[in-house]
Amino acid sequence: MDFLPDLILFLGNQVLEFQSKVPSTPQSEERFRRNFFVARVGLMVVALAIASLLPAYFILSSYSMGILSNSYFVIALIVTFFTSISSLLIFPKIPLLMKQYEEKPSAYETIGVEDEIKHELGTEFLFLILTLVPVAHILFCSLTINRASNILEIKNSSMQRIRKLAANLAGYSVILFMTNSLVVSFVLMILGDTR
């Protein structure tokens, strides 16, 4: 634990160094923003690919080696199939969601429906929590992203904090989707182990 203060200092220096590299001219700032957008979309696409392809690989290799029983193989194959279908439905929503988030706020748009926004945000958070439930993640990740998209349609400059929160919750949902997919496949492989 003696290394912890040094690690914290190192991380602080890295954050400051990263901040100093953030461009200051409008052209370089736009390029930086575009590259950051591409990196975030890329990360989400990789998470979706891992959620679909890695469990399928593990399940098929376990079955071909004869260490996974037939019944658990069928169950795992069905879950993996629905996870892949869900990934294909979520995939086109990610760039759209990021694009909505990147749009400039409007100082002229007024919002008089704050209760409605709180309702949308509460529903999104509930769907995020339900994404934690194994197998239910297949449905609720997509619903979380849909709610985030509804919130990101608000362009009011005073709602930027809520828009950012909605986008972050959608990102967490994709990460939970990937994690749950891997966990479910490993649990099925352990339960169906014939050794």
32 contacts: CB under 8 Å, gap ≥ 6: 22, 23
Phi, psi (5° rounding) for residue 180? Answer: -60, -40
The mean pLDDT of 24-43, rounded to a whole number, is 66
Q: What integer pLDDT is reported at residue 34 of this predicted model?
A: 67
pLDDT, one tens digit per residue, over 62-80 is: 888 888 788 888 888 888 8
Q: What integer pLDDT is reported at residue 105 of this predicted model?
A: 64
Q: Distance between CA atoms of 45 and 117, rounded to whole angstroms?
A: 28
User: Coil, strand or helix: which one is 16?
Assistant: helix
pLDDT, one tens digit per residue, over 121-152 is: 888 888 888 888 888 888 888 888 888 888 88
Q: What integer pLDDT is reported at residue 36 of this predicted model?
A: 64
Q: Which of 40-54, 95-109, 147-161 has the lowest mean pLDDT?
A: 95-109
Q: Where are the domains of the chain?
A: 26-191
Whether the Cβ atoms of residue 100 and residue 152 lie closer than 8 Å to each other: yes
More confident residue, 117 or 23: 117
* CA dist 84 → 65, 69, 109, 178, 185 (Å): 23, 22, 39, 11, 13
